[in-house]
Amino acid sequence: MKRRVLIFTIAAFTVLILAYPYLFRRFVYFGKNEKIDPGQIPGELITISNSDRKVNAHLFLGKDLSKGLIILLHGQGGTMYGEARFFKYFYERGYSALLVEYAGFGLSKEYSPNEIRLYDDSEKIIKYVQSKYSFSKQKTSLWGRSLGSGVALELSLRDICSHLILVTPYTSLGEVARYKYSHFIPEFLILDKFDNLSKAEKVSLPTLIIGAKLDTLTPVFMANQLNRKINGSIYIELPHSDHFHVNENLSSLEWDRIISFLQKI
CATH number, position 114 = 3.40.50.1820
d(CA 168, CA 50): 29
Domain presence at residue 10: no
Domain presence at residue 15: no
Domain presence at residue 122: yes
d(CA 230, CA 224): 10
Q: Residue 124 pLDDT more than 50?
A: yes
For residue 128, what pLDDT is reported? 98
Mean pLDDT over the full length of the chain: 91
CA distances from 205 to 127, 171, 216 (A): 18, 18, 28
Domain presence at residue 9: no
Number of domains in the chain: 1
Domain presence at residue 12: no
Domain presence at residue 23: no
Best-predicted range by mean pLDDT (58-67, 76-85, 120-129, 180-189)? 120-129
For residue 181, what pLDDT is reported? 87
Mean pLDDT of 113-140: 97
Domain that holds residue 127: 31-263
Domain presence at residue 13: no
Per-residue DSSP letters for 69-122? EEEEE--TT--GGGGHHHHHHHHTTT-EEEEEPPTTSBTTTTSPP-HHHHHHHH
Domain presence at residue 249: yes
